[in-house]
Structure 1
Amino acid sequence: MKRWRADPTEENLWGVVLAYAGVKFKTYSGLPFSYEIKKGRNGEYTRELWIDRREKSKSLAWSSIVLALGNIKGEVVERPKALGDIRGVTYIYGMFYRFGLIDVPDEVKEKMGCTKDRKK
């Protein structure tokens, strides 16, 4: 996150996303999830996150995360759809909050299991 804060580029955000793979997050409604990133044939990570929320994993494209990042307006983001009509935005919302990229309303913080204030 230090690198991202000093130089907020797409590549530095990708480093944050890689670092948080396997970490538990919560959605807007408090449902737990995590994600993993697989390596391709060339040995490099694919730009696709595999959300592990249910028995069958869903994929989340890196382009969706970048799109949501561009839609952050203001400090407090009321709900996931405020980041855009993007596939998987409920997961992106939880990730952005955990990364400290957005803040959420106090009642949502309780659902997401974090009542402490986040610094942007």
Structure 2
Amino acid sequence: MVALRKNPCEENLWKCVVAFRGYKFKTLSGLPFTYKLKKGKGDEFTKELWIDRREGSKSLTWSSVLLAYHNIGKIGEVVDRPKALGDIRGVSYIYGMFYRFGLIDVPEKVNKMKK
């Protein structure tokens, strides 16, 4: 996260995503989730996040994460709601991740993500 905050770029964002696999995040509404990455050719992680929230997983593509990332106005800016990052599949999960990574902040009245 330090590298991402010092030099916000796609490469450092990916490193953060890899480092936080299995971490328990929360959505804006307080629902817990984790994600995992699968390995592909050459023992490298694939650029697809598998969200575990209930029974079964949903996939979240790296391109969706990048689309939301490029929609951040400035690092640390308060983003009122997930849809403010764009109409992106899985944006509620991305919002929780970006908050934890320090890329965005949430409105003061929202505290479900902080617990």
Give the TM-score category using the shorter length. Answer: over 0.9
Q: Which has the higher contact order (CA 8 A, sep 6+)?
A: 2
Tell me, which stretches of 5 or more residues in structure 1 are unaligned? 115-120
Any conservation in 1 of the 2:48–2:62 contact (CA below 8 Å)?
yes
Residue 87 of structure 2 aligns to a residue whose secondary structure is: coil
Determine the structure 2 residue equivalent to 1:91: 93
Q: How much identity, in percent, do the aligned residues show?
A: 68
Q: CA deviation at 1:34?
A: 0.5
Q: Could you state the TM-score of these two structures normalised by the residue count of structure 1?
A: 0.89
Tell me, which stretches of 5 or more residues in structure 2 are unaligned? none
Give distance in 1, aligned partners of 2:51 and 2:59. Answer: 6
Change (3 A) 1:113 1:3: closer
CA RMSD of aligned residues (A): 1.1
**Dislocated runs of 4+, deviation >2 Å:** none
The structure richer in strand per residue is 2
Q: CA deviation at 1:41?
A: 3.3
Q: Could you state the TM-score of these two structures normalised by the residue count of structure 2?
A: 0.93
Number of equivalent positions: 113
Q: CA deviation at 1:65?
A: 0.6
